[in-house]
Structure 1
Amino acid sequence: MRSKSLDDMRHEARERRRFLARVAGVVAGSSLLSGLPWMAPLRAQPAGDAPSDRVRIGVIGTGSRGSLLLQYLLRTPGVEVAALCDDYPPHLADAMAAAGGKPKAFSDYRKLLAMPGIDGVVIATPLHQHAPICLAAFAADKHVFCEKSLALTVDECKAIARAANASPRVFQVGHQRLFSATFLHAHELVRAGRIGPITQIRASWHRNNDWRRPVSDPRLERKLNWRLYRASSGGLLTELASHHLQVANWYLDAAPLSCVGYGSVNHWKDGRDVYDNVNVLFRYRDGVTLVYDSLTSNRHHGLEIQIMGPRGTIEGESGRFYTEEPPPAPAVAALVRQIGQGRAETVAIGAPSWKPEAKSGEVGQQLRQELGGGDGTELSMAAFANAIRLGQRMPHMIEHAYRSGIAALMGQAAMDEGREIAWPGSYQ
């Protein structure tokens, strides 16, 4: 692959500025800001080349997710990736190569936080490291972007939320659906009453892979396959379900009251101690429930969240809206038709007219994607940089992070303990 010329890079920078300028226009001219103040930083015009426009970011954790965030940061106007940190040398070397060798490299996040001139950090480490790094970053007076899920324990979630609330710096969580045009449009439809009151939410994330990475040395097993072990991960609830829990909490504007669930390792019997098959039911106010299931042994149903009400259904991942207009029973329709034609015949309108409720064949309405498509990750990075530049905190981010992080841990506890787990209360 040929290296990019200076002209290529300048052209890309101009295109990124044009893209973010279009986004700023869409956000400023729509209803997206109504009730969604974390979108406000995207109204700002993209940064220019002046030194005063530069935001200097350090990335802590350069594995699969961190390397993706790094790609977006490198493309974001006004962002300088000044430092990279990872305690696994191959990941750090790959990230340094992707960044053109320009950032300073660290194996200890504390040394990165002590580096002069760093404005903020992006934390994309294994889950068990979120709390100590977040707390150290706030203590160092840095702006913080932390990947989901918030933390590995309830006490850690509360500690991060309290520190973020007390800090004057920007805090943002890696729930990219908050910046997805599709989910923002879906939220508008819900607020406008297009599906009626939400009566149930169903979400699933089905895969068919073992989630395992090859290791060259058994001593690296728990470092590279951290998602498979309780000491470093909550498995499917924290790594996957936390996304849909955030959406449910957002659309219902509430945290779950309690949950029950079952989990098992029924397929990948390879020494992991996180479940490969989970089923959890979350109870919200007004009798609304979120039914969640995830497994890693069958991908047929894939990834989806369905928000349902008496007037319609929204499928967020596929980005479609379906109206709920049940047709009349066939016999009743025939009788109405005959009356309209001035004739009447004997028509059975009892049991023979009944038909099973088959799945709707409606095509549905495509939800909008005018913010550039994608899942919102790119815009979340731009919003973080703009918020730092503007000195503008993101309202409600702490609550989104706390509610989804705690809900994921509630689901894990319900499966482990075989009982109903109640919401543990506010971090305040």
Structure 2
Amino acid sequence: MPREMTRRDFLKATTLVGVLASAGSRSFGQSSDQINVAIIGTGEHGRTLLGYLLKIPSLDVEMLKLFLDLTEREEASFRVPNFKVAALCDIYEPHLKRALDIVGQPVPTYDDYRRILDDKDIHAVIVATPPHTHKQIVLDSLQAGKHVWCEPPLALNLEDAKAIAKAATQANTVFQVGLQKRYNPTYSHSVKFMRTGILGKPALVHAQWHRKTSWRLPVRDQALERQVNWKLYRETSGGLLTEVALHQFDVARWFLGSLPISVTAWGSTVLWQDGREVPDTVQCVLEFPNGVRMTYHATLTNSFQATYEFFSGEFGTIYLSGAIGVLFKEADAPSLGWEVYAQRHRLGRDEGYMLIASATKLLELGKEPGEVGFADRLENNEFVVALIRFAMAISEGKKVAAGALQGLEATAIALKAVEALTTGTTQTIKASDLQLD
């Protein structure tokens, strides 16, 4: 038979309810600090970011903490950010309609970004428009007091890129550049090994990006051809060098800890003879200090071996591709001690040791680090981590991994490569060229 609830019973029950509510909050990762964000530019990449933004609340919080590389204090207070998509903006209506379908509920839409900046309830904007439009949008957004995520390149000329970087460094709001590899847990974990001198003296770097695709989108009205297919024309795009290579050049600059001294580039249109003005295949050589060179190639004609970077030195090679990081040691490399515990990974005839972020903590959670599939740990996706870090910078004042100066450097290297390809001459890169007046 039920008995009358005593005061002690009441206190126990209310305490339990509080604990369960707290646990529920941790499970769903919701925060009372809602961040209202608008997407300016709902093309392919804008919609990609939108999709990840919407998936964040459903992620496993404990797993996510691992891939964010949080301190103990940060872990204790961490909550998955409560983003709300507050508005969408694009001058091309079909893109807006597709973005609305992704959101799945009514959201204000605009064809003029300034309408978004007038809305005081919108805290942040993600600028994913073509790069030749970035300058005015970003400057206006910063002036309006918005937090800004800007996709790279910052601009298609160095003067505009420097103007953006200067305004961003002077703003009281957060400015983050979408250099997503800087937020990839495998890469940020592996760069720590690079910093220890694990490779000895670095000797060479190589990277590639291969994907068989035309990049051409269907257009209902030919009058909009250059607007929709902006990636294919020189006035609005640097092609593979600014849209793809920029990210991998940035990885080399990050891992080697120095800017390249010069860049030489070549390009040709091999397969897609469709009136485009940028090559479908490019090759580059970047010279870094101490005689280290990076060779690079990207193509839209073939998908073999997809995308990767590797750094080789006297004692070994670090190989990176998506969520995979592997250390291949030379026979005369010194023992590191942890190799006997590391999981192995074979690439061709070579076998190396996997570099897995938070491997020890994954084991503590009952996970097998080397066998956790990429699809099963969306938390490890670099876009997700970058978006959450953007939110942490807004809500908690955390420092971004890719800010104005990193964005300017990456943009400058890519633009120098475009100039080298266009002129057929080697272009030098000086730190003084990147100084903000």
Which bin holds the TM-score, normalised by the shorter protein?
0.7 to 0.9
- Alignment match, 1:66: 46
Cα distance in 1 for partners of 2:107, 2:243 equals 29
Letter in 2 for 1:414: A
335, 351, 361: which one aligns with 2:349: 361
Distance in 2 (CA, whole Å) between partners of 1:369 and 1:395 is 17
1:315 to 2:319 alignment: yes
Q: Distance in 2 between matches of 1:267 and 1:117?
A: 48
Name structure 1 gaps, 5 residues minimum: 1-13, 20-45, 328-358
Give deviations 1:329-370, integer Å, cap 9, x for gaps. Answer: xxxxxxxxxxxxxxxxxxxxxxxxxxxxxx972221222154
Letter of the structure 1 residue corresponding to residue 427 of structure 2: I
Identify the range of structure 1 (275-284 vs 295-304) with the bigger mean alpha-carbon deviation: 295-304
Instruction: Tell me the CA shift for residue 103 of structure 1.
Output: 2.6
Aligned-partner Cα distance in 2 for 1:396–1:237: 19
Aligned residue number for residue 13 of structure 2: none
Assess if the C-alpha contact under 8 Å between 1:190 and 1:196 holds in 2: no
Q: Which residue of 1 aligns with 2:383?
A: 377
2:196 aligns with 192
Aligned equivalents of 1:16, 1:217: Cα separation in 2:
49
Residues 1:422 and 2:428 aligned together:
yes
Q: Whole-Å Cα distance in 2 between the matches of residues 15 and 249 of structure 1? A: 42
Select 1:55's aligned residue among 35, 48, 65.
Answer: 35
Cα distance in 2, alignment partners of residues 68 and 224 from structure 1: 17
Are 1:406 and 2:429 an aligned pair? no
State the identity as a percent. Answer: 36
Q: How many residues align?
A: 355
Give SS of 1:150's match.
coil
Aligned to 1:252: 256
What residue identity is the alignment partner of 1:86? D
Match runs of 1:318-397 below 5 Å: 318-325=324-331, 361-370=349-358, 372=377, 374-394=380-400, 397=403
Q: Which among 101, 104, 123 is matched to residue 100 of structure 1?
A: 104
For 1:193 and 1:360, locate their aligned partners in 2 and report how far apart those are by CA, in whole Å. Answer: 25
Unaligned 5+ segments in structure 2 are 1-22, 57-80, 334-346, 363-376
Tell me if structure 1 keeps the 8 A contact 2:34–2:83: yes
* Cα-to-partner distance string for 1:120-170 (whole Å, 9 max, x where unaligned): 111111121122211111111111101122211111111111111111211
Please give the alpha-carbon distance, in whole angstroms, between the structure 1 residues aligned to 2:40 and 2:217.
20
Contact persistence 1:161–1:427 (CA under 8 A)? no
SS in 2 for 1:314: strand
Q: Please, what TM-score do these two structures have when normalized by structure 1?
A: 0.78
Give the conservation status (yes or no) of the 8 Å contact 1:410–1:423.
yes
Q: In 2, Cα distance between the equivalents of 1:79 and 1:247? A: 28
Per the alignment, residue 205 of structure 1 pairs with 209
Alignment of 1:256-335 (within 5 A): 256-317=260-321, 318-325=324-331
Cα distance, 1:288 vs structure 2: 1.3
TM-score (structure 2 length as normaliser): 0.77
- 1:179-215: per-residue Cα shift (whole Å, max 9, x none)? 1111012101101121123221101111222111122
Contact 2:176 2:402 in 1 (8 A): no
Q: Secondary structure at the match of 2:434?
A: coil
The one-character-per-residue Cα deviations of 1:14-67 (angstroms, maximum 9, x if unpaired) are 999548xxxxxxxxxxxxxxxxxxxxxxxxxx552x3xx111111101111111
CA contact (8 A) 1:127 1:150 kept: yes
CA contact (8 A) 1:203 1:244 kept: yes
- Contact 1:143–1:170 (Cα < 8 Å) also in 2: yes
Q: What residue in structure 1 maps to residue 73 of structure 2?
A: none
Deviates more, 1:391-400 or 1:192-201: 391-400
**Superposition CA RMSD, Å:** 2.2
Please tell me the residue identity of whatever aligns with 2:163.
Answer: A
Distance 1:392 1:189 in 2: 24
Shift in CA distance, 116/292, structure 1 to aligned 2, threshold 3 Å: same
Instruction: String of CA shifts for 1:272-311, please: whole Å, max 9, x gaps.
Output: 0011111111111111111111111122232111111111
Q: Is the 8 A contact 1:169 1:393 kept in 2?
A: no
How many Å apart are 1:420 and its aligned residue?
1.4
